[in-house]
Structure 1
């Protein structure tokens, strides 16, 4: 299978990339590449700037390499995985592309398994960046029953709904969309940010009981767009709703 060069240590090409655990204070951006472009890149860049770990020149270098690699991408749809941090005291970044494989989740929906592993509440304002410190997420993923569930539902230590293992959560109540409050913990996804700018949202705290009162439930991330949720295992089932489909159509029309 054809692979694009993988950049490491400010552009030096290597055959094998380091492990996530090799990075100190590592930041992760998972970016969808569509026909040689990165439609959500401005929001990814804004999140990197919000992290406060990159100087302007360093970010400009990474941005240039990322956009150039995307333009040369041989696949119509691909996933770019960008990691930034330090290894053995040296500033490092790497970039890898792989083809995007479409799944049936977009049409038939996904199921959520409530995980007992919780996310710690941040006493300071949560920047909402995705980091390479994935211990809690990996522990929660290990809880998923084999072949019974596609994603895990993550709560914080106070029992509030935060996110899934790989997506933000969208709940439809009557005529409005609601998404969990992420001021304490969780990833402020770029697709969530994009949807904020294209439709009306409320942000509020919710527990599982409140989530189950939703008329429609969905997930979103920067790679898959919007995914319907058809079940919280052990709690409730839903059908794929018309407002969820409307969001999916909006993304196709505006982004890809």
Structure 2
């Protein structure tokens, strides 16, 4: 069992490796009362990706902490909020090399649910900050998010999100979202192996589309793909904010498709 720290009581110790080196990962879970949206997928990803980093934690321990969190911060069944789990390798170790047998630290915090985006579509732009994805860390929601932090500085005014590209000019994801493009050939999204964060909503939605018999292609997306005539809709995916259509990208008006609204209903995904 990791050492559990409750954010309303105390923070992590100064010697924590998550603070010193970004040595850890996190999950941000949309809650409704005592239930969590896609909760089992969040806990499965945290357990799986912690193992990839060599941080020992069990899903049972994480479930126990979530149960304690809803008792600690009680909400009515119709009240939305956000539960965040930040898992680090622990405290100690001189320099980058960690001491053997360290006990992980788990920081648990609660926050209000942010305002939901306009279902009629949002405004987005291309980021000037390039995104580099280390294949060893691809998909992991690690604490190393400096590129996203820098890119997010440009999100101001009516701008909802900026889309980040790799060195080849291919769109990877937003600062806090995965991308899904609708075309005449079907749905297109970048492969999970190329993503900085492989979102749980992305995973669920792709499974749902394939189960409905709709073609889903995991391949690179270029700027021309989303601004060209083949684009039938661009969506940003975030498990807290949902499925968000883009109506304007870099001053280019995009078609807004409402079809995904019939598939994604947050209240049906509570666990």
The reply to whether TM is greater than 0.5 is: yes
Asked if 1:212 corresponds to 2:227, the answer is yes
User: What's the CA shift string for 1:89-129, capped at 9, x where partnerless?
Assistant: 262111111221333x24232221211111113244x5411
CA change 1:136–1:227 in 2 (3 A) is same
Given that 2:173 and 2:179 are in contact with CA atoms closer than 8 Å, whether structure 1 keeps it comes out as yes
1:31 aligns with one of 26, 29, 32: 29
User: What whole-Å deviation, never above 9, does each CA across 1:65-109 have from its counterpart, x for those lacking one?
Assistant: 113323653152111111000353262111111221333x24232
What is the CA distance between 1:254 and its match in structure 2? Answer: 2.5
Please give the root-mean-square deviation of Cα atoms over the aligned residues, in Å: 2.5
Report the equivalent of 2:188: 178
Change in Cα spacing, 1:252 to 1:47, as seen in structure 2 (3 Å) is: closer
Is residue 98 of structure 1 aligned with residue 111 of structure 2? yes
Taking structure 1 as the reference length, the TM-score comes to: 0.83
Q: TM-score, normalised by structure 2?
A: 0.79
Q: d(CA) in 1 for partners of 2:158 and 2:115? A: 19
Gaps of 5+ in 2: 93-101, 211-215
C-alpha contact (below 8 Å) 1:83/1:93 kept by paired residues: yes
Instruction: State which drifts further: 67-76 or 163-172.
Output: 67-76
Aligned to 2:4: 10
**Corresponding residue SS for 2:124:** strand
C-alpha contact (below 8 Å) 2:7/2:107 kept by paired residues: no
Quick one: structure 1 residues 102 and 180, their matched pair in 2 at CA, closer, same or farther if it must change by over 3 Å?
same
Question: Where does residue 96 of structure 2 map in the other structure?
Answer: none
Match of 2:82 in 1: 79
Kindly indicate whether the alpha-carbon contact (under 8 Å) linking 1:23 and 1:86 is maintained by their aligned counterparts in 2.
no
Ranges in structure 1 where 5+ consecutive residues have no aligned partner: 1-7
Please list, as runs of the form range in 1=range in 2, the aligned pairs for 1:43-192 lying within 5 A after superposition: 43-51=41-49, 52=51, 53-57=54-58, 59-70=59-70, 73-75=74-76, 76-89=79-92, 91-103=104-116, 105-124=117-136, 126-144=137-155, 146-174=156-184, 176-192=186-202
Using a 3 Å threshold, how does the CA distance of structure 1 residues 253 and 73 change in structure 2: closer, same or farther?
A: closer
Which of 212, 230, 235 is the matching residue for 2:247? 230
Provide the C-alpha distance between the structure 1 equivalents of 2:254 and 2:226, rounded to a whole number of angstroms: 12
Contact 2:23 2:88 in 1 (8 A): yes
Contact 1:27 1:132 in 2 (8 A): yes
Return closer, same or farther for 1:23/1:85 CA change in 2, 3 Å cut-off. Answer: farther
